[in-house]
Amino acid sequence: MSSHREAPGVSKDPVADNTDLYAFVSPDRPDTVTIIANYIPLQFPAGGPNFFEFGDDVAYDIHVSNGRRSDAQLTYRFRFQTSLRNDATFLYNTGPIDSLTSTSWNRRQFYSVTRIHKGKESLLAQGLACPPVNIGPRSTPSYASLADAAVHTVRSGEVVFAGQRNEGFFVDLGSIFDLGTLRPFENLHLIPSAAATGVDGTRGFNVHTIALQVKIKRLTSDGTAPTDPASGRSVIGVWASASRRAATLLESDGDVVESGPWRQVSRLGNPLFNEVIVPMADKDGWNAVPPSADSRFVKYVAHPELAGLLPVLYPGVFPNLAAYSKDRADLEAILLTGIPNGIVGGFQNFTGPAPADMLRLNVAIPSTETPNRFGILGGDLAGFPNGRRPQDDVVAIELRAIAGATIPLVDPSFTPDGAASLLTDGTTESDNSSPFLASFPYLSTPVAGYDSIPPDEA
């Protein structure tokens, strides 16, 4: 998965678990960038009466670097507060929730947004309402309108949304974690079976989304909206994180005491970085540090375990990859430094030589009306790894890159294996429960609990 339950520690703390991160020039508001940070993976929609919600005890951060740096120049911090209307009921709601102020809605969440710019904090808004979770036709009969009402514009101009959304990440979880099986190619697997179409393992599940739409000039180092893709000022680095207080004490009456500074327990930049690049023994440590401390993880990018496994799992399919022993400078550029000028025509997202896992977005490259799901590999400079859009097929893109399809960008002497440019897990965005929205917050209406179907009946 992109980053769902990707590390032993945070897999036991889903409220603080970053799952996916998107950053793209907003197609319908081209002077803005939209950043979407998802948390709380694999929500079975019917999971009441204590439905999924953000943690009041977690600091949810979206970080932005600029000026060819790898440390955060700007952070948007989201803090949540849960409010009970009726402490005499076990129910989430005691009647239909027809508005964000409905008296039938018992357990509500509100949040604040703080902008931290070079260490200086500015409270942008507080008391912003989250929508309820999507329960069903009796409890949340007009869910889309409830969600629309939870899109807020704060006084400094940022547009924000925090609440439940349908999982937009598509991936064949069941096969990939069964010894690296890709169903369309499983006839070629070490343990073969008939080739099959992919199965979207996250279909039917929900996540919790923090979405932020910001004027480009509020994100760049010089306060402008750059128009030259070749300029270093056009590139921002983005990552998201979740932090908890350093100390938590459980009182005998059920109260919880927290104290101390924030400690990061989860982060996410490029999809699948901690998931498939970092070994299990280092995953929790990776989650605890910022991207600027990523130099100790470079070795895992230079010689990724998965690149060694592919020739073993698919005998005879990747002979050129198997024979390639050089450092993977292509992956280091894509994931850790950005791609410099001169590698891909008309494109760069280089942030300097310091290795740091960030989603790098060149904001001078406009969105396109005809996106290619393979992003830059498909000739679409507005897609991953130039930021990431919801529809980008990051599983296929990263599989192909790790399999060697991008080595010629830095080593023309290498000829990729024929399969490298064909790899896919067989899933696409059309496998999602519902299509993406055309406007903010772009991720679609969550599946209602009433409508959810157990996986073995789907």
Partner 1 sequence: MADFSRREFLRKGSIGVAAGVAALGLGTEGGIARAATRATKTNDPPAEHGEAITSEPIVAYVRRGASGEVTVMAGSREVVHMDPDLARRIIRASKH
- Tell me if 252 contacts partner 1 by CB under 8 A: yes
Give 230's Cβ-side CA count (13 Å radius).
Answer: 6
What is the smallest separation between the CB atom of 3 and partner 1, expressed in angstroms? 24
Q: Which stretch binds partner 1 (CB under 8 A): 84-92, 197-205, 253-261, 341-349?
A: 253-261
What is the smallest separation between the CB atom of 273 and partner 1, expressed in angstroms? 24
Asked whether the beta carbons of 176 and 423 are under 8 A apart, the reply is no
Build a one-symbol-per-residue string for 218-247: x at contacts with partner 1 by CB under 8 A, - elsewhere: ---------------------------xxx
**Residues 6 or more apart whose Cβ sits within 8 Å of residue 264:** 241, 242, 243, 287, 288, 289, 290
Rounded (5°) CA angle 38-44-47:
115
What is the smallest separation between the CB atom of 288 and partner 1, expressed in angstroms? 14
52 burial type by CB count under 10 A (0-12 exposed, 13-18 middle, 19+ buried): buried
What is the smallest separation between the CB atom of 37 and partner 1, expressed in angstroms? 20
- Closest listed residue to residue 163, CA positions, set 119, 203, 128: 128
The tokens for 443 are 């991720």
Of 402-421, which residues contact partner 1 (CB under 8 A)?
none
What is the smallest separation between the CB atom of 208 and partner 1, expressed in angstroms? 24
Of 96-115, which residues contact partner 1 (CB under 8 A)?
none
Q: Which of 88, 191, 194, 250 binds partner 1 (CB under 8 A)?
A: 250
Of 121-160, which residues contact partner 1 (CB under 8 A)?
121
Cβ-based nearer residue to partner 1, 260 or 319: 260
Q: Which stretch binds partner 1 (CB under 8 A): 15-23, 249-257, 274-282, 420-428?
A: 249-257
Residue labelled with tokens 């960038």? 33
Q: Which of 87, 155, 254, 261 binds partner 1 (CB under 8 A)?
A: 261
Cβ-based nearer residue to partner 1, 71 or 178: 71
What is the smallest separation between the CB atom of 64 and partner 1, expressed in angstroms? 16
Size of the residue set binding partner 1 (CB under 8 A) = 14
Cβ-based nearer residue to partner 1, 123 or 453: 123
Cβ-based nearer residue to partner 1, 251 or 456: 251
Core vs surface per residue 164-178: b (16+ CB within 10 A) or e: bbbbbbbbbbebbee
Cβ-based nearer residue to partner 1, 190 or 246: 246
Cβ-based nearer residue to partner 1, 87 or 255: 255
Q: How far apart are the first and last CA of the chain?
A: 20
- Tell me if 260 contacts partner 1 by CB under 8 A: yes
Quote the CA–CA distance of 315 and 322 in Å, as a whole number.
10
Q: Which of 88, 249, 280, 323 binds partner 1 (CB under 8 A)?
A: 249
Cβ-based nearer residue to partner 1, 262 or 414: 262
Quote the CA–CA distance of 63 and 298 in Å, as a whole number.
21
What is the smallest separation between the CB atom of 245 and partner 1, expressed in angstroms? 8
What is the smallest separation between the CB atom of 204 and partner 1, expressed in angstroms? 39
422 burial type by CB count under 10 A (0-12 exposed, 13-18 middle, 19+ buried): middle
Cβ-based nearer residue to partner 1, 217 or 245: 245
Quote the CA–CA distance of 263 and 369 in Å, as a whole number.
41
CA dihedral angle for residue 250, residue 251, residue 255, residue 256, rounded to 10 degrees = -30
**Residues 6 or more apart whose Cβ sits within 8 Å of residue 238:** 21, 23, 35, 62, 63, 64, 65, 269, 358, 359, 360, 361, 387
The CA-atom distances, in angstroms, between 334 and each of 23, 106, 269, 307 are: 15, 46, 12, 15
Cβ-based nearer residue to partner 1, 100 or 116: 116
Quote the CA–CA distance of 440 and 418 in Å, as a whole number.
39
Chain residues that interact with partner 1, rule: CB under 8 A: 119, 121, 245-247, 249-252, 257, 259-262
